[in-house]
A and B are shown apart, each in its own frame.
Chain A
């Protein structure tokens, strides 16, 4: 099964750039990446630029509205994701726990929709 691990962070509680904690976090991400690669489970994974760079769009009554900012004004923002292919939820949770942001943010684990059930 494929799962997306959505990484939500509050930028205010993230370690600041240049601190030892920041270095530790980057090391943690590097280690998580290597582990997922070594286990052959990673499908894709990217980090996102900050919400100050976000633009949202919706179409209302045929009219396109473009807005500055993210979809939802929350303290924790979507900061990146991984897509992994593993046998079950427990395995997905194991990889989610490797993501350093789980220590100061939240990692949401969601199964991908399966469009090709024939397999």
Chain B
């Protein structure tokens, strides 16, 4: 009798550990399946949580099931059905309930379908606000907690929690489906997904290195996941390649004095060569499919920044010109102007950048670009004024320091 106590507590610990492992690795997959059936993310999350609590007790008594994921799925489904039957206001029709109930077999691991692509498309639906798309994707697909997401965006947990609830409520009420979009919507919807993931990446890229959850890592995980779930799509490959190529420079982004550095001035020995090689291979594969798109072009620009003899500016300028045909925005035009100036076409570049002033009011990168171009053309007075403007609104300390150094250089 005395022997059972330590034995059962050891078992409880083992069960809790296994449950924790399954929930960490497969939460997104389980949520995706539940949400696709229930058309309700909040409900999917709640019943999965309840199933996890039941699992602790059951597994502790009866031992681990053959497929813990299948067990959780079955129990979560039953809990959802119970709730929906109780809830008179439930929007689910009787037949949906019947379908859910008919599905009541614990699937084995091999039978569990991967519906995460559908979940990602729902979370990144353009009917949701951009920031909500980012938060929802991190919460449901990556499994970050609400406080973790709030920290990454310098929000408080309550505000972030409210944002997540509103987004989930809109998905349910507006009838956003958990489905991969039809071909006629594919390009636009995919662009929303890739842009959302890229936003997660850039947020991580400029974040302080002591963040508990590295958003660059989460973004890379998401991009690889989509590439794996929908292989052979050149834009997905382009976006993944771009992220790997830019991510490869992360350690070299800030110099020893704390100022940010453009790729041309970075310490190349700090670049991640494995990432560069993988990014280039994936980009080459994408380009071979002969269906150009904005993310492939941006990946090619990132690649040209790292050419062996320094940035290939004429090529970068040509690529921005090509990008303009896909994304005719003043921001793309501004980058085109900077590349033209670096490629030696300073006059054209100055005219282009100056023509953009009214379209980009109070846009910090415009002031920084204008400063650099005036400095190149020898107009130190205009350059200094623009540098001061750019420094005042710099997005971070490293960026401000970089601009201050440039400004100081003018004086001498």
Bound form: Cα–Cα A111–B93 in Å:
17
Residues of A within 8 A of B184 (CB): 94
Say yes or no: A117 contacts B174, CB within 8 Å.
Answer: no
A92 to B, closest residue via Cβ: B175
B87-119: contact bitstring with A at CB < 8 Å (1 yes, 0 no)? 011110110000000000000000000000000
Inter-chain CB contacts under 8 Å: number: 36
A119 within 8 A of B: yes
Say yes or no: B93 contacts A88, CB within 8 Å.
Answer: no
B225 within 8 A of A: no
Residues of B within 8 A of A114 (CB): 91
Mark out the residues of chain A between 6 and 43 whose CB falls within 8 Å of any chain B CB in the assembled complex: none
Bound form: Cα–Cα A3–B176 in Å:
12
Say yes or no: A89 contacts B127, CB within 8 Å.
Answer: yes
Say yes or no: B91 contacts A90, CB within 8 Å.
Answer: no
A45 within 8 A of B: no
A88 to B, closest residue via Cβ: B177
Residues of A within 8 A of B177 (CB): 87-90
Do most interface residues of chain B lie in helix, strand or loop, or is the interface mixed?
loop
Question: Which residue of B90, B91, B175 has the most chain A CB atoms within 10 A of its CB atom?
Answer: B175
Say yes or no: A117 contacts B88, CB within 8 Å.
Answer: yes
Say yes or no: A111 contacts B174, CB within 8 Å.
Answer: yes
Mark out the residues of chain A between 63 and 109 whose CB falls within 8 Å of any chain B CB in the assembled complex: 87-90, 92-94, 109
Interface size on B, residues (CB 8 A): 18
Say yes or no: A119 contacts B94, CB within 8 Å.
Answer: yes
Residues of B within 8 A of A111 (CB): 173-175
Bound form: Cα–Cα A31–B182 in Å:
22
Say yes or no: B185 contacts A117, CB within 8 Å.
Answer: no
Say yes or no: B91 contacts A89, CB within 8 Å.
Answer: no
A48 within 8 A of B: no
Mark out the residues of chain B between 139 and 197 whose CB falls within 8 Å of any chain A CB in the assembled complex: 173-177, 179, 181-182, 184-185
Given A90-B182, A90-B185, A119 and B93 contact (CB-CB distance below 8 Å): yes
Residues of A within 8 A of B181 (CB): 90
A1 to B, closest residue via Cβ: B175
Bound form: Cα–Cα A45–B176 in Å:
23
A86 to B, closest residue via Cβ: B175
Bound form: Cα–Cα A114–B76 in Å:
26
A3 to B, closest residue via Cβ: B175
Residues of A within 8 A of B94 (CB): 118-119
Give residues in B with beta carbon < 8 Å to A.
Answer: 88-91, 93-94, 125, 127, 173-177, 179, 181-182, 184-185
Give residues in A with beta carbon < 8 Å to B.
Answer: 1, 3, 87-90, 92-94, 109, 111, 114, 117-119
Jot down 14 A-B pairs with beta carbons below 8 A, ordered by A: A87-B175, A87-B177, A88-B175, A88-B179, A89-B175, A89-B177, A90-B176, A90-B185, A92-B175, A109-B174, A111-B173, A111-B174, A117-B89, A119-B94
